[in-house]
Chains A and B, each alone.
Chain A
Amino acid sequence: MVANVKDKAVIVGVGNTRFSKESGVSELNLAVQAVKAACDDAGLHPSAIDGFATFTMDANDEIEVARTLGVGDITFWGRSHYGGGAATGSLHQAVMAVATGMAECVAVFRALNGRSGHRFSAGVSEGVMTADIIHWGWYMPYGLLTPASWVAMFTQRWMELTSVTKDAFFEVAHATREYAVNNPNAFFYQRPFDRAEYDAARMICDPLQLFDCCQESDGASCVIVTTPERARDLKQPGVSVRGVAQAAAADQEQMTSFYREEFAAIPEMEIAARNCYEMADLTPDDIDAAVIYDAFSPIVLWQLEAWNFCGFGESGDFVLDGALRPDGRLPTNTHGGQLSEAYIHGVNGIVEATRLVRGSSLNQPAKDVNHALVTSGVGIPTGGALLGKLD
C-alpha cells in the first residue's frame, strides 16, 4: 500500500539568514528571521502559519517562535528525531499534516548557533542554554517551581471569576476516588475517603490541597493503533479515532500563559475540542463518557467547559449534579484517574477510554457508550481525541 499524499502539499517560500561562525544573536532570533524571510518570499503574513515542523534537537520551542512572530493559533507541530536524519523527516511531518488537514501552512525550520553556541564537537555537556530554561527563569527565582504552583495561579483566578468553590473540586476528587476503589490496579484501591479527610489534607499551593493533586507513579501504558482494515481482523472490537487534534493558542507559554488578556482560560483546549468535534462530526451530546486529564482536580472542570458539556463557570454545578458518577450525564475517569489510579502521563487514560467504548471498564456505565472523549494536559499546548465503535 502506498500512502496517497501526492499533490497535497507544496513548498511556497524559502528563506535563509546570514551564515557565519558567530551570529551574535540567539537561536530564536535566527529562527524567526528565517521564517519571516520565507513568509516574505511566499507573500504571506506570519499569521498565515498554523504549524511547525523541526528537529527534536532544535533549541527553539515552536510556541516561542509563534509568539515572537505574531503567528497566532497553531494546530500542528511535529518533531523528527535523530540528528541530521530529521531534515527530510521534518518536511515529511509537514506534508502529512497538510495532506490530512491538520494544518494549512507549516513552517519547517531549523536554527542553531552550532559554532558560537553549543558545538556538536563539544559533546553532551551541561550549560546548554535552551528556550525552556530561559522560560522557567521568569518564574524560578520567585519560588514558582512546580506544576502545582503554576496551576494554582490559574485556579485562584478562575475561582474568583466563576465563584466555583472547593465543593466542586472535592466532587471531582471524590467521584474519581470512588471509581478507584473498585480498581485493583489503582493506588487507592479499596481506600475511599470523605470530605473531612480531604479538607484535613495539607495545603500544597493555595487553593490546591493534597487530594487535588495527582500522584507520582511508576508504570507504563500502551495502546496499539492500526488501520481499520487490519483492525477488523483482530480479536478485540475496534475503537476508532473519530477525531484528534492538537492546539496551542495565541500567546501560549508552557504552564505559565500569564500574559494573555485573560489567563484564567484554556483557549488551546477549546480549539482542540472544536476541531475534534468537527473532524468527527459529533457534538457534546454524542459523548457518553470521558477520561479527562486530571493532574489537578480543578482542571477537569475547565475542560468540561472547553469541551462544551456546560458553559463557562457552570462546571461546578454540572459536577455537583452528579454528572461524573456512574449513572450521571458523563461518567468520567472511571479508572480512578491520575488522582487515584496512577499518573502515567495520560496514556492510562487512553487505555480506559478504549475500554469504555469496548464496554469493558471495571466501572462500565449501564448505558451504551458509543463515544468517549480523552484529553491531554492543561495549561500547555494540548489536545484530545474522540473515540467510537468501529463501524
Chain B
Amino acid sequence: MNEAEQQAFEQEIYAFVGEVVYPVTPAPDDVNESMIRHWCEVLGETNPAYLDQDWAADSARGHIIAPPAMMYVWGQEGFQVTTGRAANAQSNLVETFNRHGFTGVLGTNVKQEYFREVGVGDNIAVQMVIDNISERKMTSRGPGYFFETLATFTNRDGETVGTQRFKVLKFIPQEQPAAAASDDGKLETPTRIASVRGHDNGWWWDAVDAGKVLIQRCTSCQTLRHPPRPMCHECQSMEWDSIESTLDGEVLSFTCVRHPQVPGYPKDPICAVIRLAEGTNLVSNVVGCEFEDMAIGMKVKGVVEQVDEKTALPQFYPA
C-alpha cells in the first residue's frame, strides 16, 4: 500500500470512530439468582454476597447482588449466534480491515470499570460504540491498527452501572520479521539492502538503474572482468570500457535462502551463481520457477526489473 492508498484506507476506517455497534439494548433476562449461581459455579466464585440469601440479609445491603463482572453477561446474545449475527458497525469495520489484508485478529486487553451495584430484578442494558482507532503501528505480529469498543451498561433507571473497553489488534500477518517503524510512527515499507556506490562499482549499479547489466572490459587486452576493479589483472592496464551483457546464462550453483527471513526480501529467495554467455560470472536471483525445478547447468535469461520501490536488479528466468 503506497502513501496515497494508506491515506484513503485510513480515512475509511477512521470514519467508524463513534459509530454505534449496539444501540441501548435491554437484556433478555432480568438479573436473577439462577444465572448468578451458574456463573459463580463455573468460575469457582464462592462469595456469599452473590450466593447466600441468609448471609446477605444480615449484610449491610440486605440482599444479594450480582457479581459486577457479570455486567457483560446479561446482554449476551443467545444460541442463535451460531447461525450468524446481523451486520453492525464492528463487523463492517472488521470486514474493511480484512479487505485490505489486515486479516489477523488479536484481542489485546479488556478493561472494566464498575460504578454501581446491581440487585436481583434489575435489568442491564448495554450500548456499544467504536471508541477509537489507533495510528498504524508496527507490532511483533505485523503492521496493524488497534481499535477499541466502549460498552456502557445501564440499569432500569438509566444509571451507568459500569463500562467495558475491549481493545483489538487487526494486523497483516507477517511471514517475515516485522520492519521497524520510522520516528514518526508511520510504516516504512522495507526494501532490499542496496550496495553502496563508489568509484569502482557505482557506474555498474547506475547502469542497472537504467536497465542494463554491463561487464567491464580492458581496452588494452580486451579481458572482461566482474566485479569491476580499477586495473586489469591480466595486463595491469587501467584503461577500460564496458559491454552490455545479453543476460543469457547458465546456473553454476544455487541455494534457497530460507532462514533467516529479512524484511524487504521475498520469502525464500533463490540465489544463484550464473555464468553469463560473455564468460564472466554474476550472482543474482532466479525467479519464475520453483526451487525443486532448479538444477546446475540450467539455462536462464535475465532481465533488469524493479524489485521494490527503491531497487532495480537483474533477475533471471528459466530460458
Contact = CB atoms under 8 A, between A and B. Distances in A.
B271 A156 contact: no
A238 B195 CA distance: 49
B253 A140 contact: no
B257 A68 contact: no
B257 to A, nearest CB: 5
B262 A156 contact: no
B243 interface: no
B314 to A, nearest CB: 9
Interface in A12-52: 24-26, 28-29, 32-33, 36, 46
A203 B291 CA distance: 13
A67 to B, nearest CB: 6
29 contacts: A25-B230, A26-B200, A29-B199, A29-B230, A69-B233, A70-B232, A136-B195, A137-B195, A137-B196, A139-B271, A140-B194, A142-B269, A145-B193, A146-B257, A146-B260, A148-B259, A152-B255, A153-B254, A154-B253, A156-B253, A160-B253, A204-B258, A206-B258, A256-B283, A258-B283, A259-B280, A263-B252, A263-B273, A263-B281
B296 A129 contact: no
Interface in A324-363: none
B119 to A, nearest CB: 59
Contacts, number: 147
B227 interface: yes
A153 B251 CA distance: 11
Interface in A126-182: 129, 133-146, 148-149, 152-157, 160
A149 B273 CA distance: 12
Given A145-B262, A156-B296, 14 more contacts: A33-B238, A69-B231, A134-B195, A134-B200, A137-B205, A139-B283, A142-B271, A146-B260, A149-B255, A203-B258, A204-B258, A205-B255, A258-B281, A259-B226
A64 interface: yes
B196 to A, nearest CB: 5
Interface of B: 192-196, 198-201, 205, 226-227, 229-236, 238, 252-260, 262, 265-266, 269, 271, 273, 280-281, 283-285, 291, 296, 311, 313
Contacts of A137: 194-196, 201, 205
Given A142-B271, A146-B257, A264-B253, A133 B281 contact: no
Nearest to B307: A141
Contacts of A24: 199
Contacts of A157: 252-253, 273, 296
A70 B262 contact: no
Interface string A61-76: 0001001111000000
A152 B271 CA distance: 10
Contact of B255 (A26, A36, A138, A153): A153
A202 interface: yes
Which residue, of B196, B201, B280, B313, has the highest number of chain A Cβ atoms within 10 A?
B196
Contacts of A64: 229
Contacts of B232: 70
Interface string A250-279: 000000101100011000000000000000
Nearest to A69: B231
A134 B252 contact: no
Nearest to A262: B252
A26 B196 contact: no
A148 B236 CA distance: 35
Given A28-B229, A70-B236, A143 B257 contact: yes
Interface string A109-139: 0000000000000000000010001111111
Contacts of A205: 255-259
A68 B232 CA distance: 7
Contacts of B266: 143
Contacts of A68: 229-231, 233
Given A157-B296, A160-B296, A141 B257 contact: no
Contacts of A69: 231, 233, 236
A145 B199 CA distance: 23
A138 B262 contact: no
A331 to B, nearest CB: 31
A150 to B, nearest CB: 9
Nearest to A157: B253
A146 B259 CA distance: 9
A122 B260 CA distance: 36
B259 A156 contact: no
What size tier do the contact residues of chain A reach? Answer: 35 or more
A46 B231 CA distance: 12
Given A70-B232, A258-B281, A140 B192 contact: yes
A156 B265 CA distance: 22
B276 to A, nearest CB: 11
A264 B281 CA distance: 14
Given A129-B196, A157-B252, A259-B280, A202 B231 contact: no
B199 to A, nearest CB: 4
B317 to A, nearest CB: 15
A148 B252 CA distance: 18
Contacts of B199: 24-26, 29
Closest 6 CB pairs of A and B: A137-B195, A70-B233, A157-B253, A152-B255, A26-B199, A143-B269
A240 to B, nearest CB: 39
A203 B257 CA distance: 9
A141 B313 contact: yes
Interface string A182-212: 0000000000000000000011111100000
A46 B236 contact: yes
Contacts of B273: 153, 157, 258, 263
A17 B296 CA distance: 45
Contacts of B271: 139, 142-144, 149, 153
A141 B193 contact: yes
B229 A134 contact: no
A149 to B, nearest CB: 5
A245 B194 CA distance: 36
Nearest to B193: A140
Contacts of B265: 143
B259 A204 contact: yes
A143 B194 CA distance: 10
Nearest to A127: B196
